Amino acid sequence: MSSLKNDRYLRALLKQPVDKTPVWVMRQAGRYLPEYREVRQKAGNFMTLCSTPELACEVTLQPLRRYDLDAAIIFSDILTVPDAMGLGLHFVAGEGPKFSKTIQNAQDIANLSVPDMEDSLGYVMDAIRLTRKEIDGKVPLIGFSGSPWTLACYMVEGGSSKDFAKVKGMMFDAPEQMHALLNVLADSVIAYLNAQIKAGAQAIMLFDTWGGALSPENYKTFSLAYMEKIVNGLIKESEGREVPVTMFTKGGGQWLEWMAETGVNGLGLDWTTDIHSARQRVGDRVTLQGNMDPCVLYASPDRVEQEVSTILEAYGNGTGHVFNLGHGIHPSVNPENMARLVDSVHRLSEKYHR
């Protein structure tokens, strides 16, 4: 493996000094890029794109060719784990992910087991290995997974949901079943992320997309506890470096103190949480990632730069901030605005690191 030319992102996550604030963007390899849409069309469908290492590698690298980003994130999907458990993932145009089989009762849960990662999810590891080779140490590569609670939401509901009636119904009515499901998912995610680290992932993101749909106590019991189990089960060091972990609960800004106690290195913030007060609340325990509203990228380039300036100033001096959007980049934004975002972060943040 070649040595890392730009380790700004890893250094910020470990609260080490940096020359400027690092930046990457959730869903940075995606539909807002015309070159991504070309590859996606060539692949024929989303799952083929995810499961063909050469194509996944290509779209992972596309944003790095356009922008001076400080990290790449492997192109995949959070629902690869339930798919490997035999639920049959497919994507319906205009509706998003769907499962052929859903989890409805104790027997369905008993039938689940931790997949063999190099067997059923080997295409992800192959994509990571290939991307590390192609990236040639330019920037670090992030591996990721969905949180157990988020995966359970899709597995029980069969797709995305507005009210989470089925999965919450199981949680309230049969908590022991829900814990059994979350346990096998946590064990699967640990195995999955460790396989990614062994394949070459240099940092890990845990996406808890639906944790914010829970009440505080249920969040603690059914989401955070299992994410903490995962953090404790991960390989801590690889290639002579610490492998930092960032946890992101969308809509979870009120629980940052709890999240900071799990042993993670970084916490993702969405745009509903003020980054200045978040830093005051968690102190120096964790790095903060975020948190520009993705819709700012629909505004003028000057407005994008203004928003970048506001967020950098709100965070203040010193390391411990990874600039990102508060959620994924929208498919219809102008790629030029992304260029302005990245340039503004680097240019305007230097003064906060002197």
Asked about 27 being catalytic, the answer comes back as yes
pLDDT mean over 325-348 = 98
Mean pLDDT on 280-306: 97
Percent of the chain with pLDDT over 70: 99
- 339: pLDDT strictly greater than 70: yes
Binding residue ranges for substrate: 27-31, 77, 154, 209, 327
Considering the candidates 27, 66, 285, 303, report the single residue annotated as catalytic: 27
- 250 domain-assigned: yes
Q: What is the pLDDT of residue 91?
A: 86
| DSSP, residue by residue, 325-337 | ESSPPPTTS-HHH
Structure-derived torsion over alpha carbons of residues 282, 284, 289, 295, reported in degrees to the nearest 10: 60
Measured between alpha carbons, how far is 336 from 165 in angstroms, rounded to an integer? Answer: 41
Sign of torsion, CA 206 212 213 218?
Answer: positive
Distance between CA atoms of residues 351 and 332, nearest Å: 32
Check 7, 70, 77, 208 and give the catalytic one: 77
Residues 295-311, mean pLDDT to the nearest whole number: 98
What pLDDT is attached to residue 2? 52
Query: With left for phi above 0 and alpha for psi between -120 and 50, is residue 114 left, alpha or beta?
Result: beta
Provide the domain count of the chain.
1
CB-based contacts of 328: which residues, under 8 Å, 6+ apart? 25, 26, 27, 30, 294
Q: What is the DSSP letter of 86?
A: I
* Residues in the annotated binding site: 27-31, 77, 154, 209, 327
Q: DSSP assignment, residue 70?
A: S
Residues 40, 132, 279, 340: which is the catalytic one?
Answer: 40
> Does 258 fall in a domain?
yes
Write down the pLDDT at residue 95. Answer: 78
pLDDT in tens, 249-276: 999 999 999 999 999 999 999 999 999 9
Residue 133, domain extent: 8-353
With pLDDT > 90 as the criterion, what percentage of the chain qualifies?
Answer: 95
Q: How many Cα atoms sit within 13 Å of 29 on the Cβ side?
A: 24
**Is the pLDDT at 203 greater than 60, yes or no?**
yes
Report yes or no on 251 lying in a domain.
Answer: yes
The yes-or-no answer on residue 136 being catalytic is: no
What does pTM read for this prediction?
0.97
Residue 84 resides in a domain: yes
Supply the pLDDT for residue 67.
Answer: 98
DSSP assignment, residue 161?
Answer: -
In a domain, 1, yes or no: no
Q: Is residue 3 part of a domain?
A: no
pLDDT, position 1: 44
Catalytic residue among 9, 36, 67, 154: 154
Within 13 Å of residue 205, how many CA atoms lie on the same side as its CB? 32
Q: What is the mean pLDDT of residues 180-208?
A: 98
Known catalytic membership, residue 154: yes
* Catalytic site residue from 31, 129, 281, 285: 31
Which one has a higher pLDDT value, 95 or 256? Answer: 256
Domain assignment of residue 117, yes or no: yes
Hey, which residues does 90 pair with through a beta bridge?
Answer: 98
CATH of the domain at 338: 3.20.20.210
Residue 50 in this model has a pLDDT that exceeds 70: yes
Please list the helix, strand and coil fractions of the chain in percent, rounded to the nearest 5, in that order: 55, 15, 35
**Within its chain, how far is the Cα of 126 from the centroid?**
19
Say whether 40 is catalytic: yes
Q: Across residues 203-232, what is the average pLDDT?
A: 98
